[in-house]
Every structure is written in structure tokens, then in C-alpha cells.
Amino acid sequence: MSTTDPDCLFCKIASGEVPAEIVRDGGRVLAFRDINPQAPTHVLVIPREHHPDAVAAAGAGTGLVDEVVREAHSIAEDEGVASTGYRLVFNTGSGAGQTVFHLHCHLLGGRGMEWPPG
């Protein structure tokens, strides 16, 4: 199975071909600031491997989604939003607002959040 997709924007960010403001560069996981932030802290946490969404990555059974979530929490601590609370979002499918089909976890924090989301 190929672990990169040459046409995928986030694979290109992972390889350095497309620049991004990197906040974490771990072994299997990378995090960078969203280009269109929806909160004072808005970071995208992705695996370097290409998986179209969180369900596909979870199905691979390699603990990648766990690692993404752990990394998101660690970044929330570094950003000073862990104690007040933060939101992790995996948009899954175009009807839910997914526009980039490479698994990414949105870490949103630094402001109050409403429920239900829009």
C-alpha cells in the first residue's frame, strides 16, 4: 500500500514541498498551523502516512490515531489551552466539511466554544 499520494496537499506539506508553519515534527506525526484559523489556537495534526480519514487510519491498526490525539493534547499543553479546554475535530466526509482527504485532527482552543457546532 502506498503511504503517500502525489496529488495530496497534506502529503506535500509532510514532505516539505508545500510550506507550512510547523509546530511539531515528530516521527510519524506532524503538526502545523491552519492557514485559515478559526480560533486563537488552530493547529492541524496529521500522520506523515497518507490515509484519507481517521477511520481508514484506525483500520490500519497501527496506533496512528492514538498518536495523533496524544500529540494534539501535548500541543494544547504547549499552547496553554489544555487546562481551559479545547476541541479536537476529525471532519469525516464532504457532508461534514472535510475538504482535504488526508487524515487531520483540528486542535481548536483559546476561545469559548458553542455546542452544537455549525
- CA-CA distances (angstroms) from residue 5 to 9, 11, 37, 57, 81? 9, 6, 25, 15, 33
Residue 12 CA to residue 16 CA, distance in Å, equals: 6
Q: Give me the least distance between CB of 28 and ligand 5GP, in Å please.
A: 19
Q: Which is nearer to Zn ion, 64 or 76 (CB)?
A: 64
- CA-CA distances (angstroms) from residue 90 to 2, 16, 96? 22, 23, 9
The reply to whether 100 sits near ligand 5GP by the rule CB under 6 A is yes
The reply to whether 36 sits near ligand 5GP by the rule CB under 6 A is yes
Q: Which is nearer to ligand 5GP, 82 or 88 (CB)?
A: 88
Chain positions contacting ligand 5GP, by CB under 6 A: 9, 20, 32-36, 44, 91, 97-100
